[in-house]
């Protein structure tokens, strides 16, 4: 299930992921919805919708523009821009949400480029809803234009903030009334909402405001605080008038300020000549207005002159604004950066620096050093692509250099991470893993010293294992090292040590067995031939254990003892023979004596 905010009431709408249209359960309005499962994109749409519902149309449009950077064919984003361009707010009438327009335009909505893109990129179901809403807006637009055409033309439009935060009258309103009265005395027809709209229903404001904006030659944007100039409805008025100025070069906007510093005026007024109206002497302002109207009656400016003047002003405006963008970027004020960048691009869409600053701001980077340190690759960045497209050789070289440094920084981090991993494996005794990872280290630059250090550490680990008599481990590690230093010679040396130890061990075992046998024979004086044969065999085996340092001495020792045993055995055999002969002689004598006695007995 997907979820987004209702465009009419702001309530939550839940819908199937495959749907392009849904009905809000809170206000009951059928509407198009965001077709994406990207939470970030949904949040951007919700933010843009919230700004539009607060009548922050410029900020909302900027958010929709940002969505289109990544998804240029997103129908819902194009439609959102339409709603902002015409200042659409949905109000409740007879329990239903219906649209109203706060930014009427003489251009029919069906000719609007974003509306055309909306229809071209919408599916069949969504397209039907878009067309239905567009018809409703076109009808409202037609009614507003019809009413506005009946209005008498105005000369001057005074834009100001009427109410303060406590709903009381602002001093801007009081100052505006003073200016209004002075201008009326001079015979000018002035739009001043407190008086002009006094007996007009709220729903009928827009036609009169639109007529006044269209017909007024001069707008006075009046304020005593920075936030008053940027209040929703005052900004709505002067931003619309500035848009009209681009098409009608005989229109003029004069920022009028009092009880504040001119440097706190909105950035949009940077290239405009402001007027301080702090004192009660309004004559300088009145004279300036008189000159503007007198000039418009006497001076005829050719289209070529207008075009040249516009190019010069635009160039100066862009250059100054770019400078301000750089300052905001350095201070980390990315919201201000984005706002000014869009204004620059509205004036000059080929400004490469604007795209470059927009790219930095999109990543939250104050400068290129932060971009490099955060290792952000620019290959697929759309703002970067546009910056390179319009950049001069110097900026192009700079961007390419940054991207190259970013890639180098990425490789450096990969290299350092790999080295840390190898060191960890060495510390944990995982030498096979360390050697395998060491092979990957060769593909990075400037790794010769690290490779040699790592191989030496592994070599020393093998040496340590050998010093601890862990021969198998040492041979294993030396084998992993291959041709490094004398690893192969170390393996052969360890194998020799193992052979020596094996023979020493066997020598000790044989000596123990031989000594036990000799002790047994000497203790029992039993000279079993089989036992003697085995004893001699073991003594001969000791002689063959030439690697044992004690084998030779033991051989001669045991051989001497064996000789004594044999001599003892032979001596015992000789004694035994004598005893046998004696016993045999005695037996013969006894037999002879018995025979003699028998003969004597027979004779008797």
For 317-374, what is each residue's pLDDT tens digit?
Answer: 577 678 888 888 888 888 888 888 888 888 788 899 999 999 999 999 999 999 999 8
For range 538-557, the mean pLDDT: 91
| Six token digits for residue 247 | 């098409």
What is the pLDDT averaged over residues 504-515? 93
What pLDDT score does 405 carry? 92
DSSP run (H or E) holding 179: helix 171-185
Q: How confident is the model at residue 424, as a pLDDT?
A: 94
pLDDT (tens digit per residue) in 156-198: 999 999 998 888 999 999 999 999 999 999 899 999 999 999 8
Q: Higher pLDDT residue, 538 or 8?
A: 538
Residue 309 reports pLDDT greater than 60: no
Mean model confidence pLDDT for the chain: 87
Where are the chain's structural domains? 2-148, 156-300, 501-590
**C-alpha gyration radius of the chain:** 52
CB 82 within 8 A of CB 114: yes
pLDDT at 295 over 80: no
Residue pLDDT, tens place only, 406-456: 999 999 999 999 999 999 999 999 999 999 999 999 989 889 999 999 999
pLDDT digits 0-9 by tens, 111-141? 888 899 999 999 999 999 999 999 998 888 8
- Looking at residue 528, its pLDDT comes to 87
- List the single range of 100-109, 245-254, 540-549 with lowest mean pLDDT: 100-109
Q: Please give the pLDDT value at position 365.
A: 92
N-to-C CA span, the chain: 146
What does the pLDDT read at residue 296? 58
SS3 313: helix
pLDDT (tens digit per residue) in 450-468: 999 999 999 999 999 999 9
DSSP character at residue 445: S
Q: Which two tokens stand for residue 206?
A: 């827009």
Task: In whole angstroms, give the CA distance from residue 483 to residue 175.
Answer: 91
Burial of 207 (0-12, 13-18, 19+ CB in 10 A): buried
The length of the chain, given as a count of residues = 604
Highest mean pLDDT among 63-67, 68-72, 217-221, 581-585: 217-221
If pLDDT is split at 50, 70 and 90, which confidence band does 302 have?
very low
For residues 283 and 88, what is the distance between their CA atoms, to the nearest angstrom?
A: 39
Q: Partners of 257 in the beta sheet?
A: 223, 276
Query: Taking the CB of residue 241, how many other CB atoms lie within 10 A of it?
Result: 22
CB atoms within 10 A of CB 312: 10
Q: Does the domain at residues 156-300 carry the CATH identifier 3.40.50.300?
A: no
156-159 and 190-192 beta bridge pairing:
parallel
d(CA 197, CA 182) in angstroms, rounded, equals 19
Structure pTM? 0.46
- The answer to whether residues 140 and 176 touch, using CB atoms and an 8 Å cutoff, is no
Q: Residue 317: its pLDDT value, please?
A: 59
Count Cα neighbours of 122 within 13 Å in the Cβ-side half-sphere. Answer: 25
């Amino acid at each position: 299930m997907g979820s987004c905010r209702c465009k009419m009431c702001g309530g939550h709408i839940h819908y199937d992921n495959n749907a392009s249209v849904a009905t809000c359960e809170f206000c009951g309005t059928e509407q198009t919805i965001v077709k994406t499962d990207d939470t970030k994109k949904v949040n951007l749409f919700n933010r843009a919708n919230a700004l539009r519902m607060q009548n922050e149309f410029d900020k909302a449009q900027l958010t929709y523009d940002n969505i289109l950077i990544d998804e240029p064919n997103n129908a819902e984003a194009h439609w959102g821009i339409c709603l902002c361009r015409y200042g659409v707010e949905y109000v409740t009438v007879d329990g239903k949400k219906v649209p109203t327009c706060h930014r009427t335009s003489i251009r029919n909505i069906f000719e609007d480029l974003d509306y055309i893109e909306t229809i071209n990129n919408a599916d069949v179901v969504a397209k039907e809803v878009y067309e239905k809403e567009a018809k409703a807006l076109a009808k409202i637009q037609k009614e507003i234009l019809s009413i506005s055409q009946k209005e008498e033309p105005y000369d001057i439009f005074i834009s100001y903030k009427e109410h303060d935060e406590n709903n009381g009258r602002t001093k801007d309103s009081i100052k505006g009334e003073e200016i209004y009265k002075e201008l009326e005395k001079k015979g000018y027809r002035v739009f001043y909402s407190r008086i002009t709209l006094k007996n007009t229903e709220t729903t009928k404001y827009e036609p009169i405001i639109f007529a006044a904006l269209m017909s007024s030659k001069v707008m006075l944007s009046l304020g005593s605080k920075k936030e008053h100039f940027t209040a929703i409805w005052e900004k709505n008025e002067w931003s619309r008038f500035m848009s009209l100025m681009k098409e009608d070069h005989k229109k003029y906007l004069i920022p009028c300020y009092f009880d504040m510093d001119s440097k706190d005026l909105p950035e949009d007024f940077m290239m405009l000549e402001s007027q301080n109206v702090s004192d009660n002497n309004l004559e300088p302002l009145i004279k300036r207005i008189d000159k503007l109207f007198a000039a418009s009656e006497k001076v005829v400016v050719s289209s070529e002159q207008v075009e040249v003047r516009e190019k010069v002003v635009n160039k100066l405006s862009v250059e100054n604004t770019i400078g301000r963008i750089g300052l905001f970027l350095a201070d980390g004020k990315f919201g201000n950066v984005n706002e000014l960048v869009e204004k620059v691009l509205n004036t000059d869409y080929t400004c490469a620096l604007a795209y470059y600053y927009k790219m930095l701001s999109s990543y939250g980077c104050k400068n290129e050093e932060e971009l490099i340190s955060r290792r952000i690759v620019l290959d697929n960045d759309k703002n970067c692509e546009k910056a390179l497209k319009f950049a001069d050789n110097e900026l192009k070289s700079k961007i390419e250099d940054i991207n190259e440094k970013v890639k180098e920084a990425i490789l450096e981090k990969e290299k350092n991470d790999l080295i840390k991993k190898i060191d960890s494996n060495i510390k944990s005794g995982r030498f096979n893993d360390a050697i395998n990872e060491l092979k990957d280290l060769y593909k990075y630059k400037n790794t010769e010293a690290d490779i040699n250090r790592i191989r030496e550490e592994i070599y020393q680990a093998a040496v340590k294992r050998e010093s601890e008599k862990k021969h198998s481990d040492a041979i294993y590690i030396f084998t992993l090292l291959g041709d490094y230093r004398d690893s192969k010679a170390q393996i052969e040396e360890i194998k020799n040590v193992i052979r020596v130890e094996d023979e020493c061990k066997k020598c000790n075992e044989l000596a123990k067995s031989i000594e036990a046998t000799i002790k047994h024979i000497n203790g029992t004086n039993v000279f079993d031939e089989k036992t003697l044969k085995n004893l001699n065999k073991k003594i001969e085996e000791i002689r063959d254990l030439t690697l044992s340092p004690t084998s030779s001495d033991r051989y001669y020792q045991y051989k001497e003892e064996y000789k004594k045993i044999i001599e003892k055995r032979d001596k015992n055999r000789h004694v035994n023979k004598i005893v046998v002969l004696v016993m045999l002689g005695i037996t013969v004598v006894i037999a002879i004596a018995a025979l003699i006695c028998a003969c004597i007995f027979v004779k008797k």
